[in-house]
Structure 1
Amino acid sequence: MFEPAITRVKDWGDGSLYLIDLPQELRGYHHFISSWAIKTETGNLLVDVGPAATIPLLRQALKDLEINRVDYVLLTHIHIDHAGGTGLLLETFPQARVVCHPPSQRHLLDPARLWQGSLEVLGEVAVKYGPINPVPDGRLAETAPDVKVISAPGHAPHHLAFLYRDCLFAGEAGGVYFDVGEVYLRPATPPTFLLPVAMATLDRLLAFNLEGCTICYGHYGWASSAARMLERHRGQLLLWDEVIPRVAGKRPGRSDGDKELISAVWKELEGSDELFARFYLLPADIQERERYFITNSIKGFLGYLLSGPGDQGANGPGHNQEYEGRNPGLGQEQRPGGGYLSGSGPQTHWHGSQGEKAAEGSHKAALWPRGKEPGQGQQGEQHQNCVQVHLHPGIGQAAQEHPQQVGGQEGEQAQQQEESKRDRPALIHGREHH
């Protein structure tokens, strides 16, 4: 059994932020899955908890940190590597409430289909992660005090980001990050991927005042200047959107699963994307792990590019292994007019898509080098008890009834999708998608 690795990332006047590494018993699966622990005088929070296999590690780490009570568990999304151990962890912390995207709640209460899909997609990796225990009824919440809860679809349609004090917990909305002395960054764009949705999420996050904010990644670690890192990832997605069609255009008739096409795309990206090219600075075992996930991200981009305006992946959105497995196709919960959820108590209210402007506050923080404990940092400005869920209106409510299907191109999303494809070469349009 591994020992828990804990890094103190940030100090506030009344508490600290810690990164807990959760290495799996799989080659290269270290410095990959983690949990963020927030310990303050007013309450303790966890952001993502990892799979069941490493809940003993997480429990030990919390014990070492003298965290004997967890008030809220914030889940960026319910993929097994982020949320699979939630039910098991709650056995230790019976008072904890779980915040996740509302339509995904039923898959935490009854994870049978989520677990089955994980087995079908991930195979032995899912077995190593361990089974998914249900979250007890009555333990779910949509809000948490002092946390802004922001809808962030792209990597998954049920993805959230959390803004707490001077930290943005981005999950995989800002890509996958690794500190190799320089920045290694790549998209997390598994099938079925919709570029306009991911771009809208980045724009939504950048609309907040992120001055002085640290970005905390789902995979792996943290970086200063959240806004700058989100902008870099935004530029990276646009670059991939230029490079991949160019490569695919030279190979008509290919599908998103074509190994030769994927290899050609990878090679072209190495020469075009400096952030991605630092893949070769990663340790050898982490490179081995990353190859699988990079291939999946390229497949997601190819699926988006090769599908016609009326298609969202292989045989449509309901027939995609990512959305049927690790992500069971949970769509955004539609409310009249879209909008966001706000409130901090038992009463919550849905507002129209125009809504209120995101609260603007001054956030000041210092960045400490990886592995070095900081001194007493500046206290992040306290937010008022306000929670906001900004909903993207483009993914339909049908996903709530049929979790293996993600709402099609309706409303704003359909318009974004068609506009994004309008200027692409004709050979990219309408390709048969296997």
Structure 2
Amino acid sequence: MIQKTILTLVGTIGLGTSLLAQTATPNAAAVDTLTKEVAIAVFEKIDQPKAQDIYNQLLECGDGCDPQMIIRTVGSWDQVGAKLEELSVLKNTQRFQALPPAEANAAIRKQLLQFYVKHKAEKPYSVPLTPAVQLQILAKIDGLLPPGQPDPAQPATDQPATAEQPAVDAETGLSDEGNIDPVALQMSRLERAVKEEQEKSMWMIIASGVIGLIVGAGAVYWLAYRALKSEVDRLTAENSRLAAQLDQAQRSKPTNTPRPPQNQPDYKTKAEAYDTIRAELGTDPLAAIRQLKQSASQPASPAAPAPPANPVVEASVRPEPAPVPMSQSQGTPPPVRNEVLYFPPPSPNGLFDSGQQMPALSPESAYRFSISAEKPDVATFSFEAEPGRVTRLLTYRNYMIEPACDSENSYSSQHTRIVNRRDGEAVRENGGWRVVTKALIRYE
């Protein structure tokens, strides 16, 4: 029983709807067409299955169909349907139903303009309802509800249009002001305002991007500066630490120590050996030597008596004259000794000044010369200076060391000592000593 009642009610509603659609006025049909065309433009831009289903059904239905019924039937887009219903308010008023076509056309144009102005801030409505689309919709409305016609009592040829009077459209019979001002002109102004807003937004985006780039570049520069400054500070601290360690090592590490003299004979040992020989030979070494020679040349006979020693010695000595060589051997001068001198650094061309030579090591000395008596014009030299003078000599090594020495290694600020590896050679020249062969040193 309940099912029959529901079916009867649905049938009555469908019949009433069909009768209402059949008895709808042209003004109401134009409003439905306006609503349908706006709905088609809106749902065409929505990429969603049900939205596309609504769009396809709107395309298939005729000019007089009700888009609200299609939207409610498909579902999920009732909010859009509620906003589109704002366009259908006109057909529900008795006054609009009684308006002539021209006035109804103007009312529909005004309603579309109000709808666009109200919802232009929303992208689903502002994007599809472009001025071109709105003009197409209004063209369909003009086909259903023709706009007002010109007055036949005043033909257009009697009073030609002037600059002060707007031109009359040949198709619609309305002036440009009357035809465009209500909708197209207002829409163009709105579009211009929207474009201005878009351009303003674009310029704001560009300005924001430029400002962001400047701020970002400043931030990158600041970070790079901070990193570089911290690296410089670290290197400065490391340099100070190494300098402190170097100073401490220089204070604790012994510097150059004077090298013991080389090529110098041991006179003390030779003198002791000479004294020992003299003690063994006695006061008359010549007689002792001859006695030893005779005893070695004559074979000893055990039976023969030994002759007295004194007569033999006297007989052997008397015929011999006094030997001169023995007296010379007794008065032989001491061995030749090498001369040791100390010189300050040479001139840049490698010449040592004899006027500056010293017999002992002094603060101004830097080189030790050894001169042999056999070759008094040739001397060997080596680098030798007081420990406290090495630092100054290293500082000015180009003038004080390199003119007379070659080095095995390169100098660095960490070196504090100089070790002589090979003696150099110099010859006497014009009251001085000219470097012939440079000495070889090593920085340590």
Which TM-score bucket, shorter chain as reference? under 0.3
**Larger helix percent:** 2
- Using the size of structure 1 for normalisation, the TM-score is 0.21
- Using the size of structure 2 for normalisation, the TM-score is 0.21
Larger RCO: 1 or 2 (CA < 8 Å, sep 6+): 1
Kindly name which structure, 1 or 2, has the bigger radius of gyration based on alpha carbons.
2
